[in-house]
Chain A
Amino acid sequence: DIQMTQSPSSLAASVGDRVSITCRASQTIGTYLNWYHLKPGKAPKLLIFTASDLETGVPTRFSGAGSGTTFTLTVSNLQPEDFGTYYCQQSSRTPYTFGQGTKVEI
């Protein structure tokens, strides 16, 4: 199975900050990498698919980059509604493994 490792595990930031989260795959996955945002009591929300494509309706302050084994999610101009946990997920092959999550505290 492909292992996904995110860093950092948690971070604290202020409104208006730019934050970046890194996700590394244990083997190359091309650009088959997705990012999700999860808030307590709510369903996960797809933010970025295939490494850098912005999901419909997601604010442009979210961006993704990378290919192969190393990927980055960047949130510029952090807003209060951006708190929660971010997960990367590889969709190169099943099982579609997730990273362990990065908790963002405002």
Chain B
Amino acid sequence: EVHLVESGGGLVQPGRSLRLSCAASGFTFDNYAMHWVRQAPGKGLEWVSGISWKSGNIDYGDSVKGRFIISRDNAKNSLYLQMNGLKIEDTALYFCAKPRTAAPGSLDAWGQGTLVIVSS
């Protein structure tokens, strides 16, 4: 069974940094691209970033481009999101998600999320 567990969330001041992690199990991690998606309180889902299986292709949503860095360690079955220059509007529940085989953007497995609160 696919299992994704996010960690690293917490309360952080504006302008500071935070690193999220996602531990994956139950599937061949290095066969899949991986993604981060977030949901701000009372708001909808927002795709944050994605990384290909060998890290050759990386992309970001406009609201985090230049501030967030996605990475992965296939040897550790882990996905990361380095969040720099945090803003109040980055407050959200952050999910890591795995795409379906042969449907790269169709996210068929999600973690429970880790909460990031940016506040002074």
Contacts and interface: CB of A to CB of B under 8 A. Distances in A.
- Judge: A and B partners, yes or no: yes
Interface of A: 1, 32, 34, 36, 38, 42-46, 49-50, 55, 85, 87, 89-92, 94-101
B105 A34 contact: yes
Given A44-B110, A94-B47, 14 more contacts: A43-B113, A44-B95, A44-B107, A46-B108, A49-B108, A55-B108, A85-B44, A89-B105, A92-B105, A94-B50, A94-B105, A95-B59, A95-B62, A101-B45
Interface of B: 35, 37, 39, 44-47, 50, 59-62, 95, 97, 100, 103-108, 110-113
Contacts of A55: 100, 108
Contacts, number: 69
Nearest to B44: A101
Nearest to B64: A95
- B interface SS class: strand
Contacts of B97: 44
Nearest to B47: A96
